[in-house]
Amino acid sequence: MDKERRSDERLPTNLPAKWDGLSGGHEARIEDISIGGCFVNTTGRVDIGEVVVLQAKLPSGEWLTLRGEATSFQEGVGFGLIFSFITDEEESALREFISNRPSY
């Protein structure tokens, strides 16, 4: 069994999203999220280590932009993203969403 690499617990969610990377723009859904990263369900291709700009549509209708690096990729399923370039403002908005997120 693989040792858990995450320092933050990922919480299940189901957020509409879109992302841009080397292969262009793609539609997606965020399946789980934490302060440190998320899993992006998408058919778009990403390379491990690739920098990605992710926009998540919050239940309020606002878009939260997060940037990070792809840490894993499963063809036709999606990829793991670590938020390696998060600003204080983005982290604050993400913390607020996580603490008030709806249950799925």
Does the pLDDT of residue 3 top 50, yes or no? no
Please write down the HEC assignment for all residues of 85-101: CCCHHHHHHHHHHHHHC
Report the range of poorest mean pLDDT among 3-17, 52-66, 90-104: 3-17
**Rounded-to-integer distance, Cα 56 and Cα 41, Å:** 12
For the chain, the farthest-separated pair of C-alpha atoms sits apart, in whole angstroms, at 39
Per residue in 22-72, pLDDT (tens digit) is 999 999 999 999 999 999 999 999 999 999 999 999 988 999 999 999 999
69-84: b (≥16 Cβ within 10 Å) or e: bbbebeeeebbbbbbe
Model confidence band, residue 2 (pLDDT cutoffs 50, 70, 90): very low
Going from N- to C-terminal start, the domains of the chain cover 27-81
CB atoms within 10 A of CB 3: 4
